[in-house]
Chains A and B, each alone.
Chain A
């Protein structure tokens, strides 16, 4: 009997500890597998469910955003800046992972009860069109709010512009950079300069040499995700949708070029595919690959490998061969601030955003060094803080470089059905690499997206 009691206690204890570990792992994971990876969530703390205190007075704003080391930090700093002139101002940041923001927003907006929404929320740029068009009543039009949208890169503002109206204040930058390990390149007889302003065919040519001489592929990517595809497309100003918003997948010369380039990267072994985000970051930090191409927020993750300090350099991405309008610049990820329709004091929210995120170089100077939050705010790029050399990146002035890249990114049409199209193309890509015919796969992808749109 006693044995039984003891064993049941042991089982209970084990079960409890497993459940505990389980839920922790789950939170960490969900933060990490976040589809458009905002700078790797550094503090993977479970979201503090501090319920938004009801806005008791007119000077309080509630904000939802997700990364304590990044956008939460930036928001709090913005409040500090704003408080200098408005001492009574109170900012209440509720840490909410992006997927939860999307779920809560969808729930509130489809039930028609917006009272659960905060005053301001941070939105992934790729989800902006979809949300504004699905729930036009949930957002506040900022066009005439006095925010100077011309101070931001045009391609960035385009994400949050619907029918010519501005719904978002741009926040972080997703300009694409090509990161390279200088030590590995040296072994193969190259320098990062050899990878600057090149085309993909040149990149593949160099990549083959690097692979042969060092055994290291140049790139790693998550299988089944189309991040690189979307970056390549935007680098030529192309998209999966035409100007009217119709899917433009079949007979899209740029897309075909992109997919064949991607397939060549995979078959030549220059790009290795991994299954999840953690493995992707792993290939960078443990030196499996000699470089990566991604939004500039990837710098945060690269810098976690402290033993590689000084070994990395950045440059612009390769451009597509033989495509008109192709450039060496693109964008991946990034987010913007939206003011919800539940905001009781729109004037305050507008003024707050206009004087911080859209008006204070000093603010961007504060947040850059400690969070690496790179601005899309063009005046901030000229600041001295942005021009400081970074020891981790072989004393390159990475921040001013990225700001310069960002200003050259071609604008494209994300489309309302962005995620549908993205997944459909990812499916086509996976099947093509496995040996299916590219043309017929693209036709399937097009019909999948058209089907989704025909509701």
Chain B
């Protein structure tokens, strides 16, 4: 006890040093991330206009299920999720296994070309898609020239086609991104397994289904969770491509949250409650996916 310093073992010393190194980062995350999150949670239990907030309990959380626009936005988000995410992940998988073929020429070029959309800014690609699908845009021009349509079709004025345009845009933007994860995962699969399967007479489809998919399961799980998360937080496409229209048919939850905070009479409590609902949804969906997807015992 008279020499407390000697009581600190080497391991403890190292631990302390480790904590000391971590502290600045921990402090920054706590101050910049956790503190606002807790504040937002408290805010979500308050209501009022602008700066005049009062405690309201669970009012905001019950209120949003009576909010027709919010329910519409929630439904839109789930339409995007259910249709777009599976198509994107399957396409990503197929592309990745095709581009993993060692005998394919210009592999690097193809990989780059498919990945490149991810490098474009969210705002600019949304605007480009908007002009592509406008009445006198490129797609209509093509359809008219090919004789499929007699005059330009206003894709963004019809609820179904407007959602389809958003889904197509999302596929273009994100398929390559997920493909890269699969490609990375595929590098960990011994190529000789495929060669062995080939010798045993497995068709490409069989080796895809029996080898690639099971061995990539952790990566597929990761991309599924990330895509779910991303889709529930969609904002740029709704904002820039369709502006939520026609008649709120494409508005997303994040877009509605933005409107509530900055376009309409500000009600930050209500907006914060919605943001927390998105968090809960993401957490629940990720949990379900982990339970379903993770087969390790």
Binding site for B on A (CB under 8 A): 3-4, 7, 11, 14-15, 18-19, 21-23, 25-26, 29, 33, 99, 102-103, 106, 109-110, 112, 130, 133-135, 137, 223-224, 273-276, 279, 416-417, 419-420, 423, 426-427, 430-431, 434, 444, 447-448, 451-452, 455
Contact = CB atoms under 8 A, between A and B. Distances in A.
Contact of A15 (B67, B119, B270): B119
Given A14-B119, A133-B49, A275-B135, 9 more contacts: A23-B121, A23-B123, A110-B51, A112-B51, A130-B265, A275-B130, A276-B134, A420-B264, A447-B68
B247 interface: yes
For chain B, give the interface size range: 35 or more
19 contacts: A7-B108, A7-B112, A11-B112, A18-B119, A19-B119, A23-B121, A25-B121, A25-B127, A110-B50, A112-B51, A137-B51, A275-B157, A276-B134, A420-B265, A423-B259, A434-B247, A444-B68, A455-B47, A455-B48
B156 interface: yes
Interface in B220-251: 240, 243-248
A274 B51 contact: no
A134 B49 contact: yes
Interface string B240-284: 100111111000000000010111111110100000000000000
A4 B108 contact: yes
Interface string B104-140: 0000110010001001110111010010001110000
A451 B68 contact: yes
A109 B156 contact: no
Contact of B266 (A4, A33, A134): A134
Contact of A417 (B47, B136, B265): B265
Contacts of B157: 223, 273, 275
Contacts, number: 127
Q: Secondary structure of the A side of the interface?
A: helix
A399 B120 CA distance: 44
B124 A106 contact: no
B69 interface: yes
Given A15-B119, A430-B246, A21 B124 contact: yes
Counting chain B CB atoms within 10 Å of each CB, the highest count among A134, A426, A431 belongs to: A134
Contact of A455 (B109, B125, B270): B270
A224 B124 contact: no
B15 interface: no
B154 interface: yes
A106 B262 contact: yes
Contacts of B101: none
Nearest to A288: B136
A286 B121 CA distance: 29
B200 interface: no
Contacts of A99: 262
Interface string B57-81: 0000001001111000000000000
B120 A18 contact: yes
B83 to A, nearest CB: 22
Contacts of B68: 444, 447-448, 451
A452 B64 CA distance: 11
B66 A451 contact: yes
A216 to B, nearest CB: 15
A22 B265 contact: no
Given A15-B119, A25-B123, A134 B130 contact: no
Contacts of A130: 264-265
A380 B63 CA distance: 51
B11 to A, nearest CB: 43
Nearest to B125: A22
A135 B268 CA distance: 13
Contacts of B49: 133-134, 455
B190 to A, nearest CB: 23
Contacts of B267: 455
Nearest to B133: A275
A279 B157 CA distance: 14
Contacts of A23: 121, 123-124
A327 B243 CA distance: 32
Contacts of B263: 419
Contact of B124 (A25, A134, A279, A452): A25
Nearest to B248: A427
Contacts of A224: 243-247
Given A11-B112, A223-B245, A455-B267, A135 B51 contact: yes
Contacts of B135: 274-275, 279
Closest 6 CB pairs of A and B: A22-B121, A134-B50, A22-B124, A224-B245, A15-B119, A26-B123
A133 B247 CA distance: 28
B121 A26 contact: yes
Given A451-B68, A455-B270, A223 B119 contact: no
Contacts of A11: 112, 116
A448 B136 CA distance: 34
A33 B68 CA distance: 26
Contacts of A426: 247
Interface string B131-165: 00011100000000000000000101100000000
A19 B118 CA distance: 10
B10 to A, nearest CB: 44
Interface string B21-55: 00000000000000000000000000111110000
A434 B154 CA distance: 13
Nearest to A223: B157
B120 A22 contact: yes
A109 B116 contact: no
A427 B51 contact: no
Interface in B167-209: none
A243 B267 CA distance: 24
Contacts of A447: 68
Nearest to B240: A29
Nearest to A282: B136
A443 to B, nearest CB: 12
Contacts of A135: 50-51
A29 B109 CA distance: 32
A323 to B, nearest CB: 26
B245 A430 contact: yes
B247 A417 contact: no
A275 B124 contact: no
Contacts of A417: 264-265
Nearest to A222: B243
Contacts of A444: 68
A110 B53 CA distance: 10
B179 to A, nearest CB: 15
A134 B265 contact: yes
Contacts of B120: 18-19, 22
A57 B244 CA distance: 47
A103 B264 contact: no
B130 A102 contact: no
